[in-house]
Structure 1
Amino acid sequence: MTSTVPALGTRTAEGSALQAVLLDMDGTLVDTEGFWWEVEAEVFAALGHTLDEAWRHVVVGGPMTRSAGFLIEATGAAITLAELSVLLNAGFEKRIAHSLPLMPGAARLLAELSAHRIPTALVSASHRRIIDRVLSVLGPHHFTLSVAGDEVARTKPHPDPYLLAAARLGADPARCAVVEDTATGVAAAEAAGCQVVAVPSVASIAPAAGRTVVPSLDHVDLAFLRGLVTDR
């Protein structure tokens, strides 16, 4: 599979063995990757440090332990990882309380998957407190289950979150379609053996075997996702 994007709905659904759809959250369904960076910049500014814009690509898409740990080391800020995590989560919750914009095509895709009763999981490196807040806006009825980054021993880029979601859904990872926006998330999904659709947000993602790259969720529907597994 390459980055070639078929017209919406042109992939056949006949003979599809798609068992579940697993979706990332930040930058994939909700336009919040920028929120995280803004909160990080504000927190470190209060600590007397200015973040380098180049670091944004380093921290995007990963678990908070990795991104926060990197920023502490890079700035030399006098704060512990636990203390910083509390500040970042609190700042992010405050941001999304005022606005939580959806990514283009997200509402339509979730409605379609729900209407066809496709087992669907929200799989994020964000903590449970953040996921539950976002779910209240996305609609928890759209998801069979969700997996948070603080509920697994190893989160993305490790395959554990996607393997756990597939297992809980009783699905074969190879028969699951994953939608991700970052290289970290793509790496996790591919390590789990899933079929991957990459919708890049902050940084570009190169095409590869078993990976389809599209410009937005407007190019993704149920027939398209079924086709990923059928074509396999």
Structure 2
Amino acid sequence: MTTTVPAPGTRTAEGAALQAVLLDMDGTLVDTEGFWWDVEVEVFAGLGHVLDDSWRHVVVGGPMTRSAGFLIEATGADITLPELSVLLNDGFEDRIGRHLPLMPGAARLLAELAVHEIPTALVSASHRRIIDRVLTSLGPQHFTFTVAGDEVPRTKPHPDPYLLATTRLGVDPVRCAVVEDTATGVAAAEAAGCHVVAVPSVAPIAPAHRRTVVSSLEQVDVTFLRSLMTEMH
């Protein structure tokens, strides 16, 4: 009996297909990276501390445990990590409850992915309570699966959340495109083996092998994402 399974490394039209698109949330789909910093500044002001603006690049894009832990250490604030996490999440929820701007091109891209029936996952370092609030604006129907930062033992920059998403979707990370806005998220996606589309929000990101940098989601569509799968080596 013959088999139609290609040998490893064989290039076929099916094998080169885009299997899934995995998207970051803050700063990628919703214009909220600035919200987090504003909340951090406000919370620490209430604790009697002024945050140095240069720290913004240190805390952007990572898990709350890392960013909050860094700010506690940097300021010497008398607060525990769990206490600070509650204050930050409360402040962020309050802000997105009042106003949640989508990034240019985000709604159009999600709608296009749905029309083409491409499996799509939301992979964020934000906590589940925040993701569920944001999903009411993004539309939960646009995502086959969502991953929150407090649902994995190690979140970004580790590959775990992206590997969890690809496992749940039953896809090969190499055949997935990830859209991210920070170096932390890019590192996580690349460690998982995905091709990354970087749309820098706060700090510059340089192009690299299997990493394409664009200035806006408005430059990203299904044709563009599918074309990335030809860059296998």
Q: How does 1:204-223 map to 2 (within 5 A)?
A: 204-223=204-223
**CA distance, structure 1, for counterparts of residue 115 and residue 151 of structure 2:** 29
When the two chains are superposed, the root-mean-square deviation of aligned CA atoms in Å is 1.1
| Number of matched pairs | 220
What SS does the aligned partner of 1:156 have?
coil
Report if aligned partners of 2:35, 2:95 keep a CA contact under 8 Å in 1.
yes
**CA distance, structure 1, for counterparts of residue 136 and residue 116 of structure 2:** 21
Equivalent residue number for residue 24 of structure 2: 24
**CA distance, structure 1, for counterparts of residue 143 and residue 114 of structure 2:** 8
Report if aligned partners of 2:19, 2:118 keep a CA contact under 8 Å in 1.
yes
**CA distance, structure 1, for counterparts of residue 230 and residue 28 of structure 2:** 23
Please tell me whether residue 108 in structure 1 is matched to residue 108 in structure 2.
Answer: yes
Report if aligned partners of 1:179, 1:198 keep a CA contact under 8 Å in 2.
yes
**CA distance, structure 1, for counterparts of residue 125 and residue 108 of structure 2:** 24
**CA distance, structure 2, for counterparts of residue 230 and residue 218 of structure 1:** 21
Equivalent residue number for residue 164 of structure 1: 164
**CA distance, structure 1, for counterparts of residue 34 and residue 211 of structure 2:** 25
Report if aligned partners of 1:197, 1:214 keep a CA contact under 8 Å in 2.
yes
Report if aligned partners of 1:33, 1:60 keep a CA contact under 8 Å in 2.
yes
The amino acid across from 1:69 in the alignment is G
What SS does the aligned partner of 2:21 have?
strand
**CA distance, structure 2, for counterparts of residue 176 and residue 15 of structure 1:** 12
**CA distance, structure 2, for counterparts of residue 151 and residue 228 of structure 1:** 29
**CA distance, structure 1, for counterparts of residue 133 and residue 16 of structure 2:** 34
Equivalent residue number for residue 149 of structure 2: 149
Larger relative contact order, structure 1 or 2 (CA cutoff 8 Å, min sep 6): 1
Report if aligned partners of 2:127, 2:148 keep a CA contact under 8 Å in 1.
yes
**CA distance, structure 2, for counterparts of residue 109 and residue 89 of structure 1:** 28
The amino acid across from 1:122 in the alignment is L
Equivalent residue number for residue 174 of structure 1: 174
- Percent identity over the alignment is 82
TM-score, normalised to structure 1's length? 0.93
The amino acid across from 2:136 in the alignment is S
Measured after TM superposition, the shift of residue 230 of structure 1 is 2.5
Structure showing greater Rg: 2
What SS does the aligned partner of 1:227 have?
helix
What SS does the aligned partner of 2:179 have?
strand
Report if aligned partners of 1:15, 1:230 keep a CA contact under 8 Å in 2.
no
Unaligned runs of 5+ in 2: 1-12
TM-score, normalised to structure 2's length? 0.93
Runs of 4+ with deviation above 6 angstroms: none
Please tell me whether residue 191 in structure 1 is matched to residue 205 in structure 2.
Answer: no
Report if aligned partners of 1:18, 1:230 keep a CA contact under 8 Å in 2.
no
Report if aligned partners of 1:190, 1:196 keep a CA contact under 8 Å in 2.
yes
Equivalent residue number for residue 7 of structure 2: none
Equivalent residue number for residue 58 of structure 1: 58
**CA distance, structure 1, for counterparts of residue 15 and residue 215 of structure 2:** 27
Measured after TM superposition, the shift of residue 116 of structure 1 is 1.0
